[in-house]
Amino acid sequence: MKRRDLFLATAALLILWQILSWIVRLPILPSPLVVAKTFVVELVKGDLWRHFLASLWRVVASTALSIGLAAPAGLALGQSRQLSKIFLPVIYILYPIPKVVFVPVLLLFFGIGDLSKILVIFLVLFFQILVLVRDQAAALRPELILSVRSLGAGRRALFRFVYLPASLPAILTALRQSIGTAVAVLYVVEFFATNLGLGYYIAFQGSTLLNYPAMYAGIVMMSLLGLSLYFLVDRLEKTLCRWQSP
């Protein structure tokens, strides 16, 4: 997408927001200008930054954890019939279950700290990445593996030159598809037993302090978090997987 188009789309959304706030004329829908002012004030003088960093850490940590565990597992499943036979039915059953419902369970088991929150997002991402990487690895042609082996590649070189680069697009596709879900799940888990994070910030400003412009500032911040992660993955996909779009 072109920069100019993105800019125009953003401008159009802001204008729509402004018009809506003129029509509604209620404190629960402040104009974008008011929200922008509050956003800057909350960033500089308030602690919106701290909440942002807490949320960012949770998303990044859970993403790293899911890639670190799901990618090798997906590769192994994609290459080994025996492993697939054992684990695929389990994954098949677990995959469609909405992982958010495990929030209370994870809270009970892992306490109210960051760990339980990271684990919930991890569960969401893990299965997405696992399934896509597995499919990608299973689709690698045996001829390709044979011909690379004939060049002298053993297990380590096959991993480095074939399996790793082959699973990269699957990891990035999985991330692009699930980053929205991850941020949504983040919002939900930050409702529970915490006083740090954008989810908490939005809920606290909105329903306890009734500070609506600050609540919107939190919503904007959370949107920016999701958007910037999405753009980052999109950019990585375009530079690392150039071969897929000839």
Partner 1 sequence: MITLESLTFRYGAGSPIFDRFHWTAARGEAWAVLGPSGCGKSTLLHLLAGLLQPTGGRVIIDGQPLTRPRPYTGLIIQDYGLLPWATVRENAALGLRIRNFYGPDGTHAPRDYRPTLEVTPWLERLGLLEVAEHFPAQISGGQRQRTAIARTLALHPDVLLMDEPFSSLDAPTRESLQGLVLDLWREQALTLVMVTHAIEEAAFVGQKILLLGQPPNREAVILDNPGAGTPSYRDSELYQAMCRELRARLGGR
Residues that bind partner 1 (CB under 8 A): 141, 143-144, 146-154, 156-157, 160-162, 165-166, 168-169, 241-244, 246
Distance of closest approach, residue 222 Cβ to partner 1, in angstroms: 34
Instruction: Give whichever of 81 and 156 is closer to partner 1, judged by the CB atom.
Output: 156
Alpha carbons 147 and 143: distance in angstroms, whole number: 6
CB of 188 to partner 1, least distance (A): 37
| Closer residue to partner 1, CB minimum distance, 26 or 146 | 146
Report the half-sphere exposure of 225 (CA within 13 A, side-chain side).
29
Q: Cβ of residue 236: shortest distance to partner 1, in angstroms?
A: 14
Q: Which is nearer to partner 1, 228 or 244 (CB)?
A: 244
The distance of closest approach from Cβ of residue 194 to partner 1 in the complex, given in angstroms and rounded to an integer, is 42
> Which long-range CB contacts under 8 A does 156-160 form with residues at least 24 apart?
159/75
- Which of 159/204 has CB closer to partner 1? 159
